[in-house]
Structure 1
Amino acid sequence: MADEAVHFYSQQFAQEELIGDENLLSLLPVLIDQDRNDLLCQMPSVDEVKKAVFNLSGASASGPDGFPGVFYQTCWYIISLDVYKMVVAFFQGHTLPKSVTHTNLVLLPKKELIQSYSDLRPISLSNFINKVMSRVVHDRLEIVLPQLIYINQAEGESLKRIMKILQEYEAISGQLINKGKSAFYMHDKISGALSQQVEQITGFKRDQFPLTYLGCPIFHLRRKKGYYNDLIKKVKNKLQNWKGKLLSFGGKAVLINSVLQSIPIYMLSTVVPTKYTINELHKIFARFYWSTKEEGKSRHWSFWDKICLPKEEGGLGFRSLNDVSMALFAKLWWKFRTSNTLWSAFMWNKYCKKKKPTEVQWKSGSQVWKRMLEARDQVDHQIWWEPKNGLCDVWEDNWTKLGPLKQVIPPDFQIDTSIEEVSHFMNANGWDAQKLHTKLPSNVSDHILQQLSIVEHSEEKDKSWWMASTTGDFTVGSAWNMLRRKAQTADNFSKLWHKGVPFKISFFLWRLWKFKLPVDDVLKRINISIVSRCRCCLNSQQEEIIQYLFLIGEFAAEIWQHYNAAVGIVVPRIQIHQKIVQWWYMQAPTKLKAVMQAAPAFVCWQLWKKRNTIMHGGKMNKLKIIHGINYNLQQLVKTLYPWLR
């Protein structure tokens, strides 16, 4: 099978002798002048190479040499000179060794049923250093790209001429158009005669909306939930691989955070799925986490929205896809406002025209633009425009770090609408204090003069900074943290999760804290009828309640007394929450503080194990419980202080 794969792709990537007229190349216009061409070809600087290294994702998959991007970024101060010399050698035309250019081909299925190698898509896993060289070239081309591409470059050309040019290109390059996989799309109201004419000229068939392009549905009518069935199916197929495996809650949490919630990210960054789609994905995640079966009823011990909160706010650290979607569209708004690209120019001309982007309102049309405007209302004030040439808007843009002045200035203050640009308040020496005091409230003008550095009017464009991050660079994580649904932070929630304590024990303590355990009194509160009796006290007729099972019961009281005496705690019987908090805030040496705070989790965990063992026919005694708690404490000490023997 391996030999057949090598043979197939060797033929596919082999270059055949080309026979054709290259005169077509003379028709290509010269769009790059000599100065820009020299800029593209000049030797890169160390700073340029460093920028390329750190602009690449450090978490991307490593190539054949095994060194991921995070290695280059972390060890840059050691390897920078070697990396720089290698990039310079590439620009000088040196032949790079195979150890650098070697690439792994990974085959990804294009469809569910694989019948030939044509049904597999090869992707290259290159060495990171190769990506650095490509990134340097990419960053340079990004500067001149707007001169090479025009929005209306095909306007006025007949379809027949386009097809003729494509045929000549096929003859010269050897790259053939697969008409069997090609199609054209037209609006539903286009006449059938025009459609047939296009089909005859191109040889392509007409297809119907919606279509899937690069994994995203494209349509021109109202959204339908059926358009996103492939996304839901992809998530369910991933679950099939884990079906039947005995996964702990900790294992499920890792899979949800690392795998399941990452599947929709690409689509969420480009389109707006229906509410049904998002809710269905949340149901799939919740069922996978709380239940061992795919269908039928199952007990979800907490609503998904409530556990999609950080741990310090009482959640489990999952992320709601609604919050993620809004953060990703905040990224689109950031790019729209701060980048000079073909896409941003198109969006500006289509939706803003002569209006300011901060004032435009959505009326109809693209759901993507509507979602971007929703993100704008929440994040635009976080974009700080550092004055350079002073072309940013005085009243609409945040150039003072206080927010847009139209929102900061009191309603009764008279705004001079004739002033539009910040450059009005700038002169050759910096800020014009007189104009600032005349046209702005005193508190605002004083803030500008005292807090904003002296600026000199220059030709450089106003620089954009993202105020929600410490570096000033936009990150989806900082946008998510700003936009997400929040709950009240409590120090007690943070202490449920101790470093070095296994997830299963911390998660158990979280459930105990929130009374989300399948104990008899909890089951009764959710209308599950059961004959209740505490399993830990065999001679007792006491009903099983959380307080009795974990604190005041005869067996539990003996265990707590054993450890209370060891640390000198003398208190009357209290609630289980109070007992745990008492251990958390007990005075102890710094190095023992973490151990003391984790002790109540281990005590409750061993009591819970005893209860379950007896419930299923086993036996447990006091010595076994104490041994289990001591073992947990010993393992924690080894984790926190590995140098201790």
Structure 2
Amino acid sequence: MVSQEENRSLSLCPLLEEIKSTLFNMNVNSVAGLDGLTVKSFQHSWHIIFEEVHSAIMDFFNDSPIPKFFSSTYIALIPKSNEFEAVSGLVFNKDKGCFVISKNVPPNRILDIKNFTGFSQATLPLKYLGIPLFKGRKKTFLFDGLLSTVHNRLASWDSKFLSFSGRLVLIKSVHASIPVYNFQVLFPTKTVVLRIDRIFNKFFWRGSSVNSKIHWSSWNKWCGTLQEGDLGCKSMTDLASAFSFKLCYNLRANVSLWANFMRSKYCGDLHPSNCLYSKGHYKVWHCLCQIKWKLKSCLAWGLGEGNIFLWQDRWINGLSLEALLNTNSRSMVRVNFFYSANGWDLDKLSSIIPDSIIQMIANISLNRNAKDALLCTFTKDGLFRTKDAWHVFRNKKESSKPFKMMWHKSIPTTVSILNLRILKEFIPTDELLRKRGLLFSSGWVAGRVGVLPEALVPDISF
């Protein structure tokens, strides 16, 4: 007998014709995998391989275990250099069926490791280093690569070519966009976002990793709108939260294959607010369970066909029945259960809902030919935008008219930043330098910018 969970999995499995249609609509020059075979080769041999392709896709949707060699990782030891230490290469070895990652180590240690492990070319499987072969390492390497990319991109610029204005433009338009793609599907740790913020902060104040200059403020304290006296940048923590919000919104809207899959796998017929995270669940689901309570008050439904939850969803003037009655229900009843041929079935409603709320419901007009619309309460038009979600999570500051005037389009950005630094006391006057423990005049400092010993320049970023 087929279980309910197996029925849900089977309902998600695509038909053979759907798989074929997807394949033949793909770019023929794109490469589907590490073997280098193009989509055109799959299309050309479809009459031979279609059964195997269909079988593999069915296995995926039926939660078959992924073979370990799909994510097996080996580390190739190479002599250590003075360059920024990071993952420096990722190559697929067809003979061994594994990924090879080159990692810098001291030259005198390579021979010792060779002798100890018996690997003649000092290529070690991760299990020899005490690292699990399959569980939980892919995300770590992705963030290592992200940090390496951000660091190297910023380190390649020199301060003598860039003013504060130029550095700000680079950070906002180029470098801050590097993590955005990753944050849409991965949820960085606090350590990762802090390291990225520090890289941005060091670049803004120093312009180059070579120079030694005072960090007058942490990057997080500079993030906010121009009207609030900040630089108009977004902290990585707030940006990651905004993208988590986006995923949670997509889950609730349930208009994509991903949302359909996640709700079928973790919710079944229950409302997402009644579903919890358990050990072993997908990490994305863990993040969604953490953020859904913040999202709850920010969403409301525009009623259409009525295929939304009667008790849990917010469809009565932006409120839910649970909120109006101060209850907590696990009911799976949908709103359209109380539709009648002419509108609302008020007799049905009166059997479970007080008259005062029935009157509120009776005033809601019905358009059963339209889809139910998920609306964001923090935007004027109800549409979701990540830049608007950012304001939901961040710590807002009081806006000021002088700050707004300071960034007028007729004023050069360099001048605006200078004015802002003066107002915030982020300039090397004698008094401010003494407050930071530097006992020499600002004139002496101005003549030696970029050449102060590291020990004499306090790094006050945090």
Residue range with higher mean Cα deviation, 280-289 or 480-489: 480-489
> How many equivalent residue pairs?
351
In the other structure, the counterpart of 1:470 is 380
**Partner Cα separation in structure 2 for residue 357 and residue 271 of structure 1:** 20
Report how far residue 519 of structure 1 moved: 1.2
Distance 1:531 1:510, change over 3 A: closer
From 153, 158, 166, the counterpart of 2:58: 153
Three-state SS of the structure 2 residue aligned to 1:318 is coil
Per-residue CA deviations over 1:180-222 (Å, capped at 9, x if unaligned) read: xxx942789xxxxxxxxxxxxxx863326999xxxxxx96236
Per-residue CA deviations over 1:48-87 (Å, capped at 9, x if unaligned) read: xxxxxxxxxxxxxxxxxxxxxxxxxxxxxxxxxxxxxxxx
**Percent identity of equivalent pairs:** 28
Work out whether residues 224 and 232 of structure 2, in 8 Å CA contact, stay in contact via their aligned partners in 1. yes
Over aligned residues, Cα RMSD in angstroms? 4.2
Distance 1:311 1:415, change over 3 A: closer
Residue segments in structure 2 that go unaligned for 5+ positions in a row: 1-14, 22-28, 30-35, 37-52, 63-67, 74-93, 103-132, 448-462
**Partner Cα separation in structure 2 for residue 358 and residue 210 of structure 1:** 41
Distance 1:295 1:302, change over 3 A: same
**Partner Cα separation in structure 1 for residue 182 and residue 434 of structure 2:** 43
User: How does 1:293-442 map onto structure 2 within 5 Å?
Assistant: 293-294=208-209, 298-364=213-279, 365-406=281-322, 408-411=323-326, 420-432=333-345, 439-440=352-353
Three-state SS of the structure 1 residue aligned to 2:263 is helix
User: How does 1:56-135 map onto structure 2 within 5 Å?
Assistant: none
**Partner Cα separation in structure 2 for residue 390 and residue 415 of structure 1:** 21
**Partner Cα separation in structure 2 for residue 156 and residue 396 of structure 1:** 29
From 164, 167, 192, the counterpart of 1:249: 164
Report how far residue 477 of structure 1 moved: 1.4
Per-residue CA deviations over 1:219-242 (Å, capped at 9, x if unaligned) read: 623687555221111112222442
Per-residue CA deviations over 1:571-594 (Å, capped at 9, x if unaligned) read: xxxxxxxxxxxxxxxxxxxxxxxx
In the other structure, the counterpart of 1:266 is 181
**Partner Cα separation in structure 1 for residue 371 and residue 54 of structure 2:** 23
User: How does 1:117-266 map onto structure 2 within 5 Å?
Assistant: 153-154=58-59, 184-185=69-70, 205-207=96-98, 220-221=135-136, 225=140, 227-243=142-158, 245-266=160-181
Residue range with higher mean Cα deviation, 242-251 or 516-525: 242-251
**Partner Cα separation in structure 1 for residue 383 and residue 353 of structure 2:** 29
Work out whether residues 300 and 374 of structure 2, in 8 Å CA contact, stay in contact via their aligned partners in 1. yes
Work out whether residues 393 and 420 of structure 1, in 8 Å CA contact, stay in contact via their aligned partners in 2. yes
Residue range with higher mean Cα deviation, 312-321 or 362-371: 362-371
**Partner Cα separation in structure 1 for residue 95 and residue 267 of structure 2:** 36
Residue type at the aligned position of 1:207: C
Work out whether residues 301 and 516 of structure 1, in 8 Å CA contact, stay in contact via their aligned partners in 2. yes
Is the radius of gyration larger for structure 1 or structure 2? 1
More helix by share: 1
Residue type at the aligned position of 2:261: F
Work out whether residues 384 and 399 of structure 1, in 8 Å CA contact, stay in contact via their aligned partners in 2. yes
| TM-score of the two chains, using structure 2 as the length reference | 0.64
User: How does 1:33-48 map onto structure 2 within 5 Å?
Assistant: none
In the other structure, the counterpart of 1:173 is none
Report how far residue 443 of structure 1 moved: 6.2
Report how far residue 290 of structure 1 moved: 0.7
Residue type at the aligned position of 2:408: H
**Partner Cα separation in structure 2 for residue 339 and residue 151 of structure 1:** 26
**Partner Cα separation in structure 2 for residue 328 and residue 471 of structure 1:** 20
Per-residue CA deviations over 1:408-434 (Å, capped at 9, x if unaligned) read: 3253xx788778222244333334556
Work out whether residues 327 and 480 of structure 1, in 8 Å CA contact, stay in contact via their aligned partners in 2. yes
Work out whether residues 333 and 372 of structure 1, in 8 Å CA contact, stay in contact via their aligned partners in 2. yes
Three-state SS of the structure 1 residue aligned to 2:375 is strand
In the other structure, the counterpart of 1:624 is none
Whose RCO is larger (CA < 8 A, sep 6+)?
2
Three-state SS of the structure 2 residue aligned to 1:385 is strand
| TM-score of the two chains, using structure 1 as the length reference | 0.47
Distance 1:437 1:257, change over 3 A: farther
In the other structure, the counterpart of 2:397 is 487
| Residue 455 (structure 1) aligned with residue 366 (structure 2) | yes
**Partner Cα separation in structure 1 for residue 174 and residue 252 of structure 2:** 32
Residue type at the aligned position of 2:257: L
Residue range with higher mean Cα deviation, 287-296 or 266-275: 287-296
Residue type at the aligned position of 1:396: Q
Residue type at the aligned position of 1:185: F
In the other structure, the counterpart of 1:162 is none
Report how far residue 152 of structure 1 moved: 5.4
